[in-house]
Amino acid sequence: MEGFPKDFNWGVATSSYQIEGAAFEDGRGESIWDRFCATPGKVANSEDGSAACDHYHRYPEDIQIMKQLGVSTYRFSIAWPRLFPMGNDVREERGFDFYNRLINELLANGIKPLPTLYHWDLPQPLQDKGGWANRETVEAFKKYSVAAVEAFGDRVHEWLTLNEPWCVTWLGYMNGVHAPGVKNLDHALAAAHHTALAHAEATRAMREVRDDLKIGLALNMTNYRLEDESDPELSELGDLMDAQLNRWWIDAFLNGTYPQSLMDFHEERLATIIQPGDLDKLKVQTDILGVNYYSDAFLGLPRPEDKPLIEEGLFPFPHRSNGSAPEPHTDMGWPVTPDGLEDLLLRIARDWPEITNIAITENGAAYDEEPNEDGVVEDARRVDYLESHLAAAGRAIQKGAPLKSYYAWSLMDNFEWAEGYNKRFGLVHVNFKTLKRTIKNSGKAYSKIIEASRKA
Ligand code: FCB
């Protein structure tokens, strides 16, 4: 694979609720995903993450698998309700113990930990008070982040605050397909602001505890491809969507602003949410921009029935937009567009030259291959996806994009949120009855790429 320096960080990614299981063990509190999964009709086949991959008990085996793959770093997330079950100041030491065990085992095996503090499992008691729509959650998140750095910061030097605040905001509080399942534009806009504020406040507070940390966040980003670039209505919509997805959180931490087009669009509502002095607080030194990239988004002319929704602020959703997306699609229905990764990385380098450390914190594909008679998982489509996206990332590096790390989503098949266990993203197959792990051909291919790049 061309373009990657010898010291490139090769990793795999997961998140707590998607893999840990042991949802009611060792004092872990209820999260919004436990509640959402228990609500009929929210998750495919009424599945939930209560058992998942049982990583809570099987982490030593999973770390051995990472070692076999040859990765140098592991992105996981910390479950807030394991450390603070009620979302307040009351600690659960058994939760801290678990992450100490995990971190120590990673380090003993030469794997650098990259924890994400918030990958969607908000303590339910905080949601009962409004969750991310409530400004108090910013303060609660700051305290939790400080406690995590105090506990683990002697060994963990790189951190991500939030994962995909766009999804937290728009899937969680506007279209309700993710926990907490709220559908309310005022709540969504408040969440958009409070997540940006939470990143900044937590980052500053974490640095006060230790000044040797590198801190970032992970954003889901894409390229909007317009069906007709010359159409003014579509161009305007494309710009608003780009602002909402790609620019909102970056403008916040880099400049202490939000995109003007969205400020104008939501002017009256935002006026009651953004308090005097807030914008100044948004700006914060952010060392790592995590980019989660799965596919480009294809945007067609709005259908007449969509127009009232768009006027309300409910824009079409990136991967499900109504443009004509090319084949092939993954099991998520997302088109496979590797060149888009190169374009996106180069766009970041061009538009935000202040960003000097990009990590692809997620990239991967859902395909459902099972082990064959010989126990081999022949997931050729995932091998293609991986190789073509890495080739695109390598080209971007050669053209000057400051890409330093790549984390494949995901280490292993896991609980894919509202889609349940049907959508398999793993480099490692998990049999959800026996919990047996089997490295897929894509895992073997990734391992070869890593090995070759270290030798080159
Ligand atoms: C991202 C999430 C991650 C995973 C992938 C497929 O939006 O961050 O947890 O579910 O999608």
Identify which has the larger pLDDT, 307 or 443.
Answer: 443
What mean pLDDT is predicted for residues 132-146? 99
The mean per-residue pLDDT over the stretch 417-439 comes to 98
Residue predicted with more confidence, 306 or 195: 195
- 366 assigned to some structural domain: yes
- Distance, CA of 420 to CA of 46 (rounded, Å): 8
pLDDT at 319 over 70: no
Q: Average pLDDT, stretch 96-109?
A: 99
Torsion angle in degrees (nearest 10) through CA of 173, 136, 282, 309: 20
Per-residue pLDDT at 18:
99
Alpha carbon of 248 to ligand 1 centroid (Å):
19
Nearest CA to ligand 1 atom 9: 15
pLDDT above 70 for 116: yes
Can you say whether the dihedral through the CA atoms of 129, 133, 136, 138 is positive or negative? positive
d(C-alpha 243, C-alpha 279), whole Å: 17
Task: Say what the pLDDT of residue 203 is.
Answer: 99
Asked if 332 and 366 count as a contact pair (C-beta separation under 8 A), the reply is yes
* Average pLDDT for 255-267: 97
Which of 339, 359, 352, 340 lies closest to 296 in space, CA to CA? 340
Q: Answer yes or no: is pLDDT of 242 > 70.
A: yes
- The answer to whether 227 and 300 are in contact (CB under 8 A) is yes
Contact 65, 440 (CB under 8 A): no
Q: Does residue 218 lie in a domain region?
A: yes
Predicted confidence band of residue 383 (pLDDT cuts 50, 70, 90): very high
In angstroms, how far is CA 42 from the centroid of its own chain?
20
Is the pLDDT at 283 greater than 90, yes or no?
Answer: yes
Query: Would 3 be classed as within a structural domain?
Result: no
Q: Ligand 1 mean position to 126 CA, how many Å? A: 22
Alpha helices in 319-440 (DSSP H): 338-351, 380-398
pLDDT, tens digit, 9 for 90 and up, residues 18-74: 999 999 999 999 999 999 999 999 999 999 999 999 999 999 999 999 999 999 999
Structural domain containing residue 159: 9-455
pLDDT at position 386, please?
A: 99
pLDDT higher than 80, residue 449: yes
Ligand 1 pocket residue status of 34, Cβ below 6 Å: no
Q: What is the mean pLDDT of residues 272-282?
A: 98
Instruction: Assess whether pLDDT exceeds 60 at residue 320.
Output: no
Count how many domains the chain has: 1
Residue 432 has pLDDT above 90, yes or no: yes
413 lines ligand 1 (CB under 6 A): no
Going from the Cα of 57 to the center of ligand 1, the distance in angstroms, rounded, reads: 23
Per cent of the chain over pLDDT 90 is 93
**Which residues are designated catalytic?**
164, 362
Q: What is the pLDDT of residue 317?
A: 66
What does the radius of gyration of the chain's CA atoms come to, in whole angstroms? 21
Which CA distances in Å does 22 have to 4, 34, 52, 79, 328? 38, 12, 8, 11, 37
**Cα-to-centroid distance, 14 and ligand 1 (Å):** 9
Q: pLDDT tens digits, residue range 201-221?
A: 999 999 999 999 999 999 999
Q: What confidence category does residue 321 fall into, taking pLDDT thresholds of 50, 70 and 90?
A: low
Within-domain flag for 350: yes
C-alpha closest to that of 353 among 445, 446, 254, 451: 254
Asked whether residue 209 is assigned to any structural domain, the reply reads yes
The finding on whether 12 has its CB within 6 A of some atom of ligand 1 is: no
pLDDT band at 318 (very low <50, low <70, confident <90, very high): low
Query: What does the pLDDT average to over 364-393?
Result: 98
Whether 85 is in a domain gets the answer: yes
Closest CA to 332 of 410, 259, 251: 410
Pair type for strands 158-163 and 214-220: parallel
Low-confidence winner among 7-11, 308-312, 404-408, 416-420 (lowest mean pLDDT): 308-312
Residue partners of 453: CB distance under 8 A and separation at least 6: 1, 4, 6, 8, 10
CATH of the domain at 291: 3.20.20.80
Residue 195 in this model has a pLDDT that exceeds 70: yes
DSSP state of 244: I
Confidence category of residue 308, pLDDT binned at 50, 70, 90:
confident
The pLDDT assigned to 305 comes to 82
Q: Kindly state the average pLDDT of the residues 446-456.
A: 95
The pLDDT, as a whole number, for residue 327 is 84
CA neighbours closer than 13 Å in the CB half-sphere of residue 412: 29
The answer to whether residue 429 sits within a structural domain is yes
pLDDT, the chain, mean:
96
Residue 138 falls inside a structural domain: yes
Quick one: which of 250, 258, 188, 259 has its CA closest to 217?
A: 250
Site to probe by mutation for ligand 1, drawn from 409, 424, 425 as the one with most ligand atoms within 8 Å of Cβ, is 409
State residue 315's pLDDT score: 80
